[in-house]
A and B are shown apart, each in its own frame.
Chain A
Amino acid sequence: MLLLTKLFTQLGAEGFLLGVWETLYMTAISTAVAYCIGLPLGILLCITDKDGVKPIVWLNKIVGFLVNILRSIPFIILMVALIPVSRAIMGTSIGNRAMIFMLIVAAAPYIARMVESSVKEVDKGVVEAARSMGANTFEIVWKVLLPEAKPSLIVGAVISSVTVLGYSAMAGTIAAGGLGSIAVTQARPSNAQDVIWLCVALIVVIVQAIQELGMFLAKKTDKRVRGKNRKKTEKGEQS
């Protein structure tokens, strides 16, 4: 009864692997570049806040406004709107290159807000202590805010990359590749349910892997976890 559709056999292991690879590749590059933009933006949003380390309210308002605008446009509409922009900047409005550009534009403001909320979690008292020692703004960011927020930043990066992965499923609309493209543009018209469900399964596996790895890293870097570290030092003291 379980017969594989024509598309399934056509794609074969190679086709699906290519899909996985393209999805991972688009997600990784876009998240990485978007993080490089979002991290400084997030820090800026945090420190220029009126209760921040270096309050510059007008700058905070402007950046916050721009971030909010980009964040409120649904991705599929943003893509359409960005077609001419992509053509101008990336030289193309279709394919993986264009897709990566659009993902970056969508993810950077999202990441900026993630970073902002992580950095805001850092205890104000610790910042005050650093100021009392004569630390300047740069030192406070570099030596206090970022290291102290690290576990939370990692969690934020994981959530962001999963979001980007979700967006990347719309790649088919502009002829970019990946699992989403296979499911939406190839399998859907011919109603190849087996292909769709395999794509779903593969995406679930990828998301799980990113999630698990990220949480493991976050937990490992967090020195506030009491029990685990204590055990380690006790062992150290015995030896």
Chain B
Amino acid sequence: MIELIHLEKRYPSQDGEIVALEDIDLKIGDGAIFGIIGLSGAGKSTLVRCINLLERPTSGRVIIDGEDITNVSKKRLLQIRRSVGMIFQGFNLLEQRTVEANVRFPLEIARVPKEEAKARVRELLELVGLSEKARAYPAQLSGGQKQRVAIARALATKPKYLLCDEATSALDPNTTDSILALLKDVNRTLGVTMVIITHEMRVVDSICTDVAVIDNSRIVESGKVADVFSYPQSEIAKELIIPNLIRSVRSAGGKKLRLVFNGDVSDAPVISGLALDCGVAVNILYADTKNIDGRMFGHMVITLPQGEEDAARVKRYLAQKNVSFKEEL
């Protein structure tokens, strides 16, 4: 487990101090795929670099598997870093080394015997599906292939944790999906705990189990993805998670109701039910729902009828149908 306790990071600068991280408390459980989402400049990258101490926090503690790594010896820190792999937005491959030599690099650092390293490299390239590119150089690979090499390299020393810093931000949507699938696969089959830094909602949505929203150097919200995504509390979380919904709510006048479907409701037609059973017609301002195995997920915004009575009737109906809702202005 990775625990961040009261983490703070400040940089000196010409016009006073810059606060990059403030009062960060996070627990990342084993086996989780933990997303940290925020806008650029929010402090995400600094946060992930504090986990393996590529950046030293100004104060606070980083505890990995019970060990406070902020005050271990230099030698021990280098050892710990071998159990925490990392991949980057820019891939950061050694351009003058072949694919297999790149994957071999961390094994050389860890002084793994040559024969063993060779076998391990082969195994890893197979895992990421690049066996036939073993002797190619990074310049000959596509972005997605480069990130696969980086993943193989990061996993070479069998780390327990993998830190991903905007790992898919430089890739096109299709490639992003295939890299995310690979990461999910690595998490499932090898049990590697992942910390995923991203500004893309869909990355969190498609593979993360937990999520923390970071804004202005602070964690403003965190929890299970299903919970945070269904009921985002902070303004920034709403901006990130349901930007279109927020926009449509703002642009329309009158009272509105936000309906949240988090799988508790079957796909019975709720809106036509409203019209037929309550005799109230409503406008749909926004809808983004999906049907997974006969269950509804997502959000919808409808206008509330003017009359108090009608409005109450709508709410009663929804409560009866187990749809959670919230009035939005």
Q: Which residues of A contact B (CB under 8 A)?
A: 123, 125-126, 128-136, 139, 143-144, 147-148, 150-151, 221-226, 229-230, 233, 236-237
Contacts and interface: CB of A to CB of B under 8 A. Distances in A.
Contact of B81 (A134, A144, A222): A134
B108 to A, nearest CB: 7
Given A130-B109, A148-B96, 10 more contacts: A129-B88, A129-B92, A131-B81, A132-B163, A134-B82, A134-B110, A143-B105, A223-B95, A223-B98, A223-B138
A128 B92 contact: yes
B93 interface: yes
Given A126-B94, A128-B92, A133 B157 contact: yes
Nearest to A237: B132
Interface in B52-106: 52, 54, 77-82, 84-86, 88, 90, 92-98, 105-106
Contacts of A130: 105, 109
Q: Which 7 A-B pairs have the closest CB atoms?
A: A134-B81, A129-B92, A132-B86, A134-B78, A125-B92, A133-B106, A223-B137
B139 A132 contact: no
28 contacts: A123-B95, A126-B92, A126-B94, A128-B92, A131-B54, A132-B54, A132-B84, A133-B85, A133-B86, A133-B109, A133-B157, A134-B77, A134-B79, A134-B109, A143-B109, A144-B94, A148-B94, A148-B95, A150-B96, A222-B96, A223-B95, A223-B138, A224-B139, A226-B139, A229-B136, A230-B140, A233-B135, A233-B136
A200 B136 CA distance: 45
Contact of B92 (A123, A223, A226, A237): A123
B86 A229 contact: no
Contacts of B90: 123, 125
A151 B96 CA distance: 9
B88 A233 contact: no
A237 B110 CA distance: 33
Nearest to A131: B54
Given A224-B139, A229-B139, A133 B93 contact: no
B105 A133 contact: yes
Contacts of B98: 223
Contacts of A139: 109
Interface of B: 52, 54, 77-82, 84-86, 88, 90, 92-98, 105-106, 108-110, 132, 135-140, 150, 153-154, 157, 163
Main secondary structure, interface of B, reads mixed
Contacts of B139: 223-226, 229
Nearest to B156: A133
B105 A125 contact: no
A111 B78 CA distance: 33
Contact of A229 (B94, B97, B106, B140): B140
A135 B94 CA distance: 14
Nearest to B110: A134
Contacts of B96: 147-148, 150-151, 221-224
A232 to B, nearest CB: 9
B95 A224 contact: yes
Nearest to A149: B96
B245 to A, nearest CB: 36
Contact of A129 (B86, B108, B135, B137): B86
A136 B82 CA distance: 12
B54 A128 contact: yes
Nearest to A125: B92
Contacts of A151: 96
A175 to B, nearest CB: 45
A133 B70 CA distance: 17
Nearest to B98: A223
A126 B140 contact: no
Nearest to B132: A237
A185 to B, nearest CB: 46
Contacts of A128: 54, 88, 92
Contacts of B95: 123, 126, 148, 223-224
B109 A125 contact: no
A224 B150 CA distance: 17
Nearest to A136: B78
Contacts of B54: 128, 131-132
A223 B94 CA distance: 10
A147 B157 CA distance: 22
B140 A226 contact: yes
Nearest to B74: A136
Q: Which of B78, B82, B90, B92 counts the most A-chain CB atoms under 10 A from its CB? A: B92
A125 B49 CA distance: 12
B81 A133 contact: yes
A137 to B, nearest CB: 10
A132 B79 CA distance: 10
Contacts of A135: 78, 109
Nearest to A124: B92
